[in-house]
A and B are shown apart, each in its own frame.
Chain A
Amino acid sequence: MDPIVSFENVEVDYDGRPVLKDICFEVQPGEIVGLAGPSGSGKTTLLSHLIGLKRPVRGSIRLFGEQLTFLSPAAQRRLRQRIGVLFQGGALLSSLNVYENVALPLLEMGFSDAWIQPMVSLALSLAGLPPENAPRMPSELSGGMVTRVALARGLVAEPELLLLDEPTAGLDPIVADAFIALMGDLQKSLGITALMISHDLRALERLCHRIVLVGDGHLIAQGQLHDLKQKADSRIRSFFRLDGERAS
């Protein structure tokens, strides 16, 4: 099966400063891949490149088999409609209520209210949000609810790929656990393909089929969590706290 995401020898920079070099990994259909690494290692920058917001310095990024670098802005927009993104902190539009936030991708695709309304109901339900939250404004929601609304917005247009940027950051352990369980259920029932950036070891352990670990400017290792934990590399052991150290 063709991979949904493919990074081939990618080099990325941030404000002209090289961040990551020789990044090679793939995300296969139906797979959740965790992108992990210390703070400032370039994970979110990598995600920005995947969405097409930035261009890599070197190498190629393929999304649904298409090389992003050579696509016109219109083609990139069409490709982005096949992706659902859950940004760090939710990034809900504060002037729109929950319903309008979730409905936005479908509205942009040209669907009428008659089709949008049931799809928003479905997305809210999938994200575990009761429908009475639909008219509420983002400022009235708790952190966990903001994350769920952001997930609903990511799911509403039936994405073929879900990108999750630190979905459990800032959530207390109980809410974070509930979110991980929800994602696990969605993966089982919908067969979601996702690339998830996370520091949260529990989220990585419980959700991801494979983990890509970046740091020190390049890809340190990738594979199943169990295999990674067997490796002797001190950076891997430090990240997964195998030597009693805290991951940064």
Chain B
Amino acid sequence: MSDPAPRSRSGNDMRPPSLERVGMPGGSARIVLSGAWTLRRLQNPKRLASLEKEIHLIHAQDPAGHWDLMGATLDHFGALLLRRGWLSSPPVHLELTPSQASLFARWERIPPCSPQKVKDGLEVWLRPARWISRILLDSLALMGLIVFLFLNFLRQLGTSVAKPHRIPFQEISRNLYQMGFKALGIIAIVGSLIGIVISYLAALQLQGFALRGFLVFIIGISIVRELGPTLAAVLVAGRSGSAITAELGVMRIRGEIDAYRAMGIDPLYRLIFPRLVALLILLPLLVGWSDFFGIITGLGAAALTLHASFLSLVRQLPRLVPLFNLWFGIIKGGFFGLLIGLVACRLGWDVPPDAASLGQETTRSVVLSITLVIALDALAAVLFRRTGF
């Protein structure tokens, strides 16, 4: 490597950029530039605009003026300012150092660029149609892939029964702990609060009607049949569904999923199967957990409001709310768990390799999981409307 090249611009020049107009005997003026005409010295927007205007005025008034830049420190930005002031038509008499001349020469060769893709008229008109069709196609593709993942899960379940030694027990156990055990606290708190809310709202409406049994029925049926499973599912979707999408997304971005494939290991079996199994097991358990706290606090609050014995209310519960409803809620929880897992895994599986997409897919995973859980819940409510009463 040769010796260091001489610098064409200097950060040591602390003088502000200035411009002096000196009259010459022949009539035309001599414009002498001094100081640092550099990006850092021209950072003030007002100063920048005033200099541009001043250069423009001087150049317009006296096109034959002599511009002397020899005493100024110039960088590309300073050269750009002068070019803009001269409206890209440099003065006829211009005194420059060779390095300054190279700056101006470089600007001559720069092709403009645009932050946006240039679109033709037809493309602008077609944009809404494309947008709608893309959403429809994406949704169809997503549903198709979720169904594929579900069928694959069933196949892997069959394989696991045939070859139990291959089941990734450690991964399943880790997921049960992360998604189940660690969620016990929050589910107990939310379940309890919901029990209290229902109890107080219903008690307020039924006061004076001597309908104690009806209050027990409302608390029991709403919690074990609807609110318990839905609440547990919403909390798991928000807490664990998002985590699954983010975790798989990062693994995708870091190439870990490809590494599994390269080693001849099926990543679907190692990464998705344990999560789906864990969710299938733990969601019914969490529904039971949520039901328990909801019922206890709901009946407790009812006992306080109605001045009744808590135990007498508890004893009424199995008679008023048939056991079918509890099992219905718990089984529904299993389906919710599977649905949350399928959506979260699917969206994390193909995350585009950038930070923004990871965030978008994680949000999408939570929103889609909760929407599908509520839709499935509504479907079950309609299909089984005559059962369990």
Contacts and interface: CB of A to CB of B under 8 A. Distances in A.
Interface of A: 2, 4, 28-32, 64, 81-82, 93-95, 97, 99-100, 103, 109-112, 115, 117-122, 124-125, 130-132, 134-135, 137-139, 157-158, 160, 187-191, 193, 205-209, 224-225
Interface of B: 1, 3-12, 38-40, 43, 45, 48, 75-77, 80, 102, 106-107, 109-117, 352-357
B40 A121 contact: no
A135 to B, nearest CB: 4
A157 B39 contact: yes
B315 to A, nearest CB: 59
Given A82-B11, A160-B11, A134 B110 contact: no
A120 B110 CA distance: 10
Given A138-B354, A158-B75, A160-B11, A121 B4 contact: no
B357 to A, nearest CB: 8
Contacts of A64: 11
Given A118-B107, A122-B107, 13 more contacts: A28-B4, A30-B7, A82-B40, A94-B357, A99-B114, A100-B115, A111-B43, A117-B115, A119-B77, A125-B110, A131-B113, A135-B117, A158-B77
Given A94-B354, A139-B353, A158-B40, A191 B7 contact: yes
A118 B110 contact: yes
B354 A137 contact: yes
A28 B75 CA distance: 19
Contacts of A115: 48, 77, 80
B115 A97 contact: yes
Contacts of B109: 125
Given A121-B111, A121-B112, A110 B9 contact: no
Given A82-B11, A94-B356, A158-B77, A124 B6 contact: no
Nearest to B5: A191
A109 B110 contact: no
A189 B110 CA distance: 15
Given A99-B113, A121-B111, A121-B113, A30 B353 contact: no
Contacts of B112: 117-118, 121, 131
A192 to B, nearest CB: 8
Contact of B7 (A29, A130, A207): A29
A120 B113 contact: yes
B114 A122 contact: no
Contacts, number: 117
Contact of B355 (A32, A81, A94, A209): A94
Contacts of B107: 118, 122
A191 B113 contact: no
A30 B76 CA distance: 17
16 contacts: A30-B4, A64-B11, A94-B355, A95-B356, A100-B115, A110-B43, A110-B45, A111-B43, A118-B80, A118-B107, A121-B112, A131-B111, A131-B112, A137-B354, A191-B8, A209-B3
A198 B181 CA distance: 48
Contacts of A32: 1, 4
B78 to A, nearest CB: 9
A118 B352 CA distance: 31
Contacts of A122: 76, 80, 106-107, 110
Given A112-B45, A119-B76, A121-B111, A135 B116 contact: yes
Contacts of A119: 39, 76-77, 80
Contacts of A190: 8
A134 B114 contact: yes
Contacts of A131: 111-114
Nearest to B116: A135
In the complex, the 5 A-B pairs of residues with the closest C-beta atoms, listed nearest first: A94-B354, A131-B113, A95-B356, A160-B11, A99-B115
Nearest to B39: A158
B367 to A, nearest CB: 19
Contacts of B40: 81-82, 158
A33 to B, nearest CB: 10
Nearest to A93: B355
A169 to B, nearest CB: 16
Nearest to A4: B11
Contacts of B1: 32, 205-209, 224-225
A209 B4 contact: yes
A103 B114 CA distance: 11
Contacts of A207: 1
A183 B10 CA distance: 19
Contact of B354 (A95, A109, A191, A224): A95
A74 to B, nearest CB: 15
Contact of B102 (A132, A134, A189): A189
Contacts of B43: 109-111
B5 A188 contact: yes
A191 B48 contact: no
A225 B107 CA distance: 35
A208 B4 CA distance: 9
A83 to B, nearest CB: 10
B302 to A, nearest CB: 51
Contacts of A189: 8, 102, 106
A188 B364 CA distance: 50
A191 B6 contact: yes
B76 A124 contact: no
B110 to A, nearest CB: 5
Contact of A139 (B4, B110, B352): B352
A154 to B, nearest CB: 14
Contacts of B6: 30, 191
Contacts of B111: 121, 125, 130-131
Nearest to B77: A158
Contacts of B38: 158
B76 A193 contact: no
